[in-house]
Structure 1
Amino acid sequence: MQKRKLSDICMSICAIIVTYNPDVSMLLTLIESVDKQVDVLCIVDNGSSADFYLNFPFDYISNFKFIKLEDNFGLGTALNKGIELARKLGMEFVLFLDQDSICSQGMVSCLVKHYKECTLLKVAEIGPRFIDINNSNISQHVNYRTLRVGHIPCPEKLSVVQTDVLITSGSLIPIHVLDFVGPMDESLFIDHIDTEWCLRAKSKGYVLLGDCEALMSHNLGEYRKRIWFIYWREVPVHKAFRYYYIFRNSVLLYHRKYVPWSWIRIDLIRLIEIFGFTLLFGPYRLDKITMMFQGIRDAFLGKTGKLPSCQNRNSDS
């Protein structure tokens, strides 16, 4: 595949895709969607099955790097391994991608163009809007309102808006910002890694930009359940072990000095809602609620990292 010319945007970019037993067809679609848009494509595999990549068609990917981790060390560790490689290769930017995302044509060039247009701002990262694979809805960028997450509209003729948080996938971050703000927090393992880094960057005086024109298809949840609670709403439903990390990492972040009360207030309400929805409507509710309380307990005990393997279950129970 022919790469885009560096002179087109005068910046070198390494895309970092973190994988864990991915759907091969979706991963190949992601690679095809981004390969021509970046200079280096790096897959960091987080301990997938031993024979998973034996027959993977690596040869057709140009300027490709592969990092195989022997175990699942978590999203933060995998992202940091990719960042280290990008830094060694002299890249100026990293582009984070989840294995279940698909980049739109010209997405990366759009992100870079709008980043360059905001040189008067101290920009930490810029990210696209998302098309939910499940329902084709296009997301809006967000800010923290009094009691809930607010949506920031993209007015006509405005290419970017300032946002309070960006999710990992699709985020374009300059290496020099990572040098100053620091790497991803590996102690969280999964969940809130993107939130924590965004809050840390903002505490150091940086702004986050939501791109109004760049788009990416993304799977925003394992699956969603439509329920009636005051009004009709769709609630994400996760495997039991995920609730351990969601609750533990939230409580861990509540104790950090750079985390603002505006985020804590909204996130605490979100945890209460998750607990209530799970208790009233969720499948396997006993196991999930047990994981929630274990996560809260471990946060107060200062435990971080990976949940013991005997409890880190991949079933929906």
Structure 2
Amino acid sequence: MSEEESCHALIIPLFGDLPSDLREYLNLLHSTGYQLVLVDNRADELGITQHQPCWPSEAYVIENRNRGGLAGGLNCGIAAAIARGADYVTLLDQDSRMQPEHLQGLQRQLHSTEWDQARRLLIGPCIWDADRRCWHSPRQRSADSNSTKTTLLITSGTTFCASNWPLLGRFDEAMQIDYIDHDWCFRAATKGFSLHQVHDCILSQHFGEPHPNALCDLLGMQLYTPYRHFTALRNLRLLLRRPYIPISIKIKEVIKMLLKLPAWLLFEPQRAANLHSIYTAVTCPLKLQA
């Protein structure tokens, strides 16, 4: 199948207050030929159609109601896209912005003769932090290739061939949101997948609300809810038990968490709720993988 004949699906879970420019962005994506799969991941009683009645008419909308969190939204969106004939899949956050030509660049990289077509690949863009106006991670270029091999891709922007989905496997819905990219990427690596970041494909991302404390903001922290603190700490406990997660990653994430815990209790407005979240995350039973 040629690149022009293929179907490229974009999976976009939606939650909370939607960005004001989202409708315009979806119309742009639709006008350039992408299959849009919108997953309503809000738990309230009003669905997308009541909140936002003017999506592109061809967009496929799924009511998921936050079952399985972000992981569940991605899983059902991917399954729906493949059932509707997708050949390539790109995952996008509602706060991510990636120009159509850069999305085409990701697909082109998967379709490139640079790769053995039987090779197992996960492709992602370079990430621009739209809030801090800097690269999310060092942008390393290779003189002889348009991509750099990596060990981890953030969920948004990750692109793969739909035929590889059964082998890749689903995102872990027990984790819901935090660390689902770590778990999925390192699990994929154990199945022979190679992860690459494409140099000239750029995704602009808003990572969350700026932290009110200057020191925490300088350290790269965002202000999240007590529930997100709970899921982050609980999921770190899960991550530490996964044999396929490298020990270097485990040590790095534990050190980062040890810095975050006092910040949550000293420099954030909901200190009592944060303390309760920490206690619950540390003491709750874990749902371990079979």
- TM-score when normalising by structure 1: 0.80
Q: Within the alignment, does 1:263 sit opposite 2:249 as a pair? A: yes
1:11 to 6, 14, 19: 6
Residues 66 and 72 in structure 2, CA contact (< 8 A), matched pair in contact too:
no
1:12 Cα deviation (Å)? 1.7
Q: Matched residues in 1 for 2:250 and 2:51: separation?
A: 46
2:173 to 181, 186, 195: 186
1:172 Cα deviation (Å)? 0.8
Change in Cα spacing, 1:275 to 1:108, as seen in structure 2 (3 Å) is same
1:137 to 125, 130, 134: 134
Change in Cα spacing, 1:8 to 1:37, as seen in structure 2 (3 Å) is farther
Q: Could you say what secondary structure the match of 2:9 adopts? A: strand
Greater shift, 65-74 or 89-98, is seen at: 65-74
Q: Matched residues in 1 for 2:223 and 2:161: separation?
A: 34
Q: Matched residues in 1 for 2:3 and 2:188: separation?
A: 29
1:84 to 74, 79, 82: 79
Deviating above 6 A after TM superposition, structure 1's stretches of 4 or more consecutive aligned residues are none
Q: Matched residues in 2 for 1:9 and 1:75: separation?
A: 31
- 1:141-152 maps to which residues of 2 (within 5 A)? 151=138
Residues 110 and 160 in structure 2, CA contact (< 8 A), matched pair in contact too:
no
Change in Cα spacing, 1:7 to 1:63, as seen in structure 2 (3 Å) is farther
Give the structure with the higher percent strand: 1
1:70 Cα deviation (Å)? 4.3
The size of the alignment, in residue pairs, is: 285
1:184 Cα deviation (Å)? 1.2
Q: Where does structure 1 lack aligned partners over 5 or more consecutive residues?
A: 1-5, 141-150, 305-317
**Deviation digits for residues 175-233 of structure 1 (CA, Å, limit 9, x no counterpart):** 2222112111111112111211101001112111111111122111222346348x953
- Report what 2:115 is aligned to: 119
- Report what 2:50 is aligned to: 54
- Report what 1:65 is aligned to: 60
Q: Matched residues in 1 for 2:268 and 2:286: separation?
A: 28
- TM-score when normalising by structure 2: 0.87
Q: Matched residues in 2 for 1:226 and 1:128: separation?
A: 30
Q: Could you say what secondary structure the match of 1:186 adopts? A: coil
- 1:154-173 maps to which residues of 2 (within 5 A)? 154-155=141-142, 158-173=145-160
Q: Could you say what secondary structure the match of 2:20 adopts? A: helix
Greater shift, 241-250 or 162-171, is seen at: 162-171
Q: Could you say what secondary structure the match of 1:251 adopts? A: helix
Residues 152 and 161 in structure 1, CA contact (< 8 A), matched pair in contact too:
no
- Report what 1:98 is aligned to: 93
- Report what 2:27 is aligned to: 32
Among all aligned residue pairs of Structure 1 and Structure 2, give the percentage whose two residues are the same amino acid: 25
- 1:244-259 maps to which residues of 2 (within 5 A)? 244-259=230-245
